[in-house]
Structure 1
């Protein structure tokens, strides 16, 4: 390069230092979808209410205004959250690390199941020394001796109201296989999952054995895995798109019409002393155990309407109510375990002292307050733990 002409005016000017390379802009972190947490919180609270048969509040839960109930919401969102937690983890942390995380979560679920079973058996056995306990509170096989322990611990026996965590463990344990199928082809994963679900609906006898029930697991895992797979697939699709599901007016309209039909058909008109407005009065209610198609359509319609709604996203993220529910949903295992134990004590109180209005109010206010307070404490504890970690 040729020298520049000599110019005295330029000799004394300092040469500016070379520009420092600009640091790369920070990668935008994914924004948490509080709708998932809020929906899961609603499902957990409804499960607490629904599992108390004498509770008048369960007349207002979603099982009375549709074919599906909180269990379908819970399993669908479990699949959605599993993809967020582990589907991306396989790529980010590697197979060994992610398999370890899945195993640890299954152990946590197993511990939660063990705690609930032990509390149920010990409480009912102690309570019946003072007053009669209805037989449906605890299967007769669990009411005497210890021969049941290994069966319960091996999931060969699933007590009533304590059968959804074993399902979750099975589904989560099978998630790596579903992930492999998703990597091969997403349509293949859903096709195989849907085919197995359809096979169970054609032959409900295809089930895992249950020592306490000749019909097998109440939540047939071969059927319910399809709902879990749909949730995981929806999560993967949302991640791929980087946006919510598109709001298609015709699809949203079909969902609303179906939910109206579901509400009219499932509503307990006689229980409320109202004229029967069921479109098909003699129709058998869709079976929950093997997840009948009508129940599946019900929960998927709800899910689409919520997940395609920007207003729902804003409500869950910004409103006080939405954040309270989301806080409950963020700690699903702990809330579910405590809520299930509270259900037992509520049922025992109602069976012992009656189900009058005063006790109804005390049980519901106390129970829901405990769950909200537990969620607040767990949320604060988690924030304190994160604050002490190195950046």
Structure 2
């Protein structure tokens, strides 16, 4: 699981830099879903692993306290990222005279202090800084999800699916976001994304009950591969790859903000194939993927580092143009910095335990 989460974190960094050539080969180019769906589903999975057992071992109040402290820590990281982003972008604007076309531009138009205030109360979520607020909301909801699953997993999933369907039917069911250009609310609509989080929590229970794997059914494996094949043909950026368009149908990209059905099925098919395969499990234990595992183990810190590295990339591309040399340097520096930080944090954790 940490390997997948580390993969998602590194992918999010690459995808958060517009005009980044490396982003042509990340997950969203091979299907309808991308690293965001993977990250949120695994957040539900890891929450069940971390806190589900803690409810039983340490009791309700101790676990609620741990969840509350985690939410406070995530909020502190979000606040630090927001402040750092506003200060860095303001300094860049003063130095270059350029105006940002990304991220915190709506907040800068409010004024740095008003924008900071709106961001701190989660009433203004700029692009690229809107995943952690969603995570906070979902983590606050986890005790209710856990309690409901103790009674009936299927009923919990059915209720969660009903809320997701309602959010996809009525786009007004959302939280306010004054940074949204069309006042459409949070880009990652929590009423929709909670379904992925709940599925992740249920997945953890299912995997634990079956000694680490989902049951593999040949017909279901075939169905998943067939759907992922269709999604690949439909979503691949053929023109960016210099290839003729092989899309079987003319259709818009499924809505990401509300986890449209095609995106949901895509991530579920991918997760089933990954968690039902002994070969994938064996590959995840290989020493060559240890950098991904270490990044996933320290997800909050690595996510924050990726956000700052992506901000630097966006500023550099906007200032000097997305030349090939600059892209290579930006991607290599950002990825190596994230992996290096993960190993430092892992070493510090092992030293403390020792």
Structure 2 length as normaliser, TM-score?
Answer: 0.96
- Runs (4 or more) in structure 1 with deviation over 3 Å come to none
Q: Offset of 1:117 from its aligned partner?
A: 0.3
Q: Offset of 1:54 from its aligned partner?
A: 2.0
Q: Offset of 1:291 from its aligned partner?
A: 0.4
Tell me which residue corresponds to 2:198.
Answer: 229
In 2, distance between residues paired with 1:147 and 1:327?
A: 37
Tell me which residue corresponds to 1:128.
Answer: 93
Alpha-carbon contact 2:31-2:228 (below 8 Å) kept: yes
Alpha-carbon contact 1:124-1:133 (below 8 Å) kept: no
Q: Tell whether 2:264 aligns with 1:299.
A: no
Q: Offset of 1:299 from its aligned partner?
A: 0.7
In 2, distance between residues paired with 1:68 and 1:141?
A: 28
The equivalent position to 2:27 in structure 1, one of 49, 62, 66, is 62
Matched residue of 2:123: which SS? coil
The equivalences for 1:21-170 within 5 A come to 36-131=1-96, 132-143=98-109, 144-170=111-137
Alpha-carbon contact 2:78-2:129 (below 8 Å) kept: yes
Matched residue of 2:113: which SS? coil
Q: Deviation per CA, 1:45-96, whole angstroms, max 9, x where unpaired? A: 1000000012110011011111000000000000000000011110111001
Q: Offset of 1:192 from its aligned partner?
A: 0.5
Q: Offset of 1:136 from its aligned partner?
A: 2.6
Q: Deviation per CA, 1:242-277, whole angstroms, max 9, x where unpaired? A: 341111111111111111100000011122332111
Number of equivalences: 350
In 2, distance between residues paired with 1:247 and 1:95?
A: 35
Tell me which residue corresponds to 1:255.
Answer: 224
In 2, distance between residues paired with 1:353 and 1:139?
A: 19
Alpha-carbon contact 1:133-1:348 (below 8 Å) kept: no
Tell me which residue corresponds to 2:276.
Answer: 308
Alpha-carbon contact 1:67-1:298 (below 8 Å) kept: yes
Tell me which residue corresponds to 1:10.
Answer: none
More helix by share: 2
Relative distance call for 1:48 and 1:155 in structure 2 (3 A) is same
Matched residue of 2:165: which SS? helix
Q: Deviation per CA, 1:332-388, whole angstroms, max 9, x where unpaired? A: 10000010011111111111122111111111111111011001101111101111x
Alpha-carbon contact 1:170-1:221 (below 8 Å) kept: yes
Relative distance call for 1:243 and 1:60 in structure 2 (3 A) is closer
Alpha-carbon contact 1:266-1:285 (below 8 Å) kept: yes
Tell me which residue corresponds to 2:257.
Answer: 289
Alpha-carbon contact 2:46-2:201 (below 8 Å) kept: yes
In 2, distance between residues paired with 1:152 and 1:137?
A: 12
Alpha-carbon contact 2:122-2:133 (below 8 Å) kept: yes
In 1, distance between residues paired with 2:144 and 2:103?
A: 37
In 2, distance between residues paired with 1:369 and 1:259?
A: 31
Q: Deviation per CA, 1:294-314, whole angstroms, max 9, x where unpaired? A: 101111111111111111111
Relative distance call for 1:369 and 1:234 in structure 2 (3 A) is same
Alpha-carbon contact 1:78-1:228 (below 8 Å) kept: yes
Q: Offset of 1:160 from its aligned partner?
A: 1.1
In 2, distance between residues paired with 1:128 and 1:149?
A: 17
Q: Deviation per CA, 1:159-191, whole angstroms, max 9, x where unpaired? A: 111000000000000001111111121111111
In 1, distance between residues paired with 2:107 and 2:304?
A: 23
The equivalent position to 2:243 in structure 1, one of 248, 256, 274, is 274
Q: Offset of 1:322 from its aligned partner?
A: 2.0
Q: Tell whether 2:201 aligns with 1:239.
A: no
Tell me which residue corresponds to 1:14.
Answer: none
Alpha-carbon contact 2:86-2:104 (below 8 Å) kept: yes
Q: Tell whether 2:306 aligns with 1:339.
A: yes
Alpha-carbon contact 1:201-1:223 (below 8 Å) kept: yes
In 1, distance between residues paired with 2:308 and 2:155?
A: 40
